[in-house]
Structure 1
């Protein structure tokens, strides 16, 4: 894996605003890579300074070994969690959506309409 791939994943995760989440597959797509597992590996090895808690499984569940901490961080940001699961339809971040709501442009990044 090249350094640029690593940085693209870090940039996507760093850009997730408080109160929003992405799935590992969402991060992979926005970073232009195929592997959701690679996103998990990058976050495990080099994600301590990132909002890693905003990255979830596609079904809205959190990492079991970090469950308490991750759920507490999400709750503090106003993310609703029910039965250990985040409502991905409600809290999934779409890059560019904030700009679209303020300037009238579509604000959709290429491929941002896909969900994982």
Structure 2
């Protein structure tokens, strides 16, 4: 059974629109725990509804994709984001200025 914090995380991540990303810290703050970025990562790694909860839209604050992306690895996360129109910089990170949600 997911914790109350995890449930909040899932509800927030469901709101991230296609073509946008949020950072783990941003999601944590919106869920009421601004220091809970690591908890966001744990919750998304256990995503109970892949495809419904778009966890691929959550990246590191610097735009980096998760090396341990639970649903196919970092290449899969990047492919999913690119398919939605998320822009990557030459260094392989998401262009957070263009694609950050909120």
TM-score (norm 1): 0.75
Report the Cα distance in structure 2 between the residues aligned to 1:50 and 1:88, rounded to whole angstroms. 21
For structure 2, the residue ranges without an aligned partner over 5 or more in a row are none
Report the Cα distance in structure 1 between the residues aligned to 2:18 and 2:55, rounded to whole angstroms. 11
1:67 aligns with 2:36: no
Q: How many Å apart are 1:46 and its aligned residue?
A: 2.3
Q: Which residue of 2 aligns with 1:84?
A: 92
Moved >6 Å (runs of 4+)? none
Q: Which residue of 2 aligns with 1:37?
A: 38
Q: 1:19-55: per-residue Cα shift (whole Å, max 9, x none)?
A: 0000000000011113100000000012524111100
Q: Which residue of 1 aligns with 2:53?
A: 50
Q: Which residue of 1 aligns with 2:5?
A: 5
Q: 1:57-105: per-residue Cα shift (whole Å, max 9, x none)?
A: 00000012321100000000001112210011111111xxxxxxxxxxx
For structure 1, the residue ranges without an aligned partner over 5 or more in a row are 95-116
Larger helix share, 1 or 2: 1
